[in-house]
Structure 1
Amino acid sequence: MKKPQLAIALAFGAVTATAAAGDVEDQIRFRQSAYSFLGWNTAKIKAQASDHPDTFNKDEVIAAANAIAGVANAGVFEKLYGPGTDKGTGWKPSRLKPEFFEKQDEAKEINATFIKEANELQKVAAGGDPAAIKAQFGKLAAACKSCHDLIRIRQ
């Protein structure tokens, strides 16, 4: 594990360990915060690798990929989806489908794929090839979408 990824994983790991012992609202808030952070970093990569390749900045893409891998490996899935977290509010109402709790095997498989693709994106980003980054980012995005489709309420 690279140093930036390790630092992020340790920070989110400490937060998720604390949150796991917390109440439903804490779990939802921490989960929502982690996903907002992921969204911010995926948007940075998408903007540079797909939408506006003329703005490509290797260092920014590497930093974003490190952040994504760090969160992916921090245990958000294992610690922040406790019973009742489909009904709470957090920072805003939870968009977790109640059937999530009935689809644990499928959700765990998707999470494993997400972690694999996030780790691979980190490796590819370090190489700095915009085309390779774009291709691997597509695989990560597909993993995200499959989870959203399975367990996230669309608004």
Structure 2
Amino acid sequence: MQRIIASSLLGVFALGIASTATADLTPEEQIRFRQAGYSFMSWNMGRIKSNLDGNYNPEQVAAAANAINAIATSGMGSLFGPGTDRNVGNVKTRVKPEFFDNLDDVAVIAGNFVAATNALAAAANAGDEIEVSTTFGEVGQACKACHDKYRAD
């Protein structure tokens, strides 16, 4: 429990730093950094899935879940600044313009995602494979909720 509280506080602290740090980032850099974060989370989701489908290694699952949770609570929202709603130079984005018109809905979806990653990290750190399986599905659904509304094909 202390680990979750500490990671949440670290996430809030990182959000504050990220908010000021992104003021110096170009829209192109913001898109690249957020894409890197989402790619890293996706890779770690794959690590958890392979553990759930094969030989379950609680240490690998905990490391992957903690990485996902760290990125989810790192202030990624600050990387959706002005000018990141469209392709910039050679950097393509799949975010739909509606994302920027529905920030209250996006905040709810993002909050659900963070809650799901918190639960996944807690289950993984406890070594509970059944709960990891359940919360892993919830993280996937939280991802899908945003993709379905705000990510272009």
The secondary structure found in structure 1 opposite 2:49 is helix
- Which of 36, 40, 43 matches 2:39? 36
Q: Which residue of 2 aligns with 1:61?
A: 61
Q: Is 1:2 aligned to residue 10 of structure 2?
A: no
Amino acid at match of 1:143: A
Against the structure 1 CA distance between its residues 29 and 146, is the aligned structure 2 distance closer, same or farther, given a 3 Å change threshold?
A: same
TM-score, length-scaled by structure 2 = 0.86
Q: Give, in angstroms, the shift of residue 9 of structure 1.
A: 4.8
TM-score, length-scaled by structure 1 = 0.85
The secondary structure found in structure 1 opposite 2:80 is coil
Q: Give, in angstroms, the shift of residue 5 of structure 1.
A: 4.7
Q: 1: distance between equivalents of 2:33 and 2:139? A: 22
1:57-112 Cα distance to aligned partner (Å, 9 max, x none): 100000011111111111101x1111221213487410010111111111100000
The secondary structure found in structure 2 opposite 1:93 is coil
Unaligned runs of 5+ in 1: none
| Off by >3 Å, runs of 4+ in structure 1 | 3-6, 12-17, 89-92
Q: 1: distance between equivalents of 2:116 and 2:90? A: 28
Q: Which residue of 2 aligns with 1:21?
A: 24
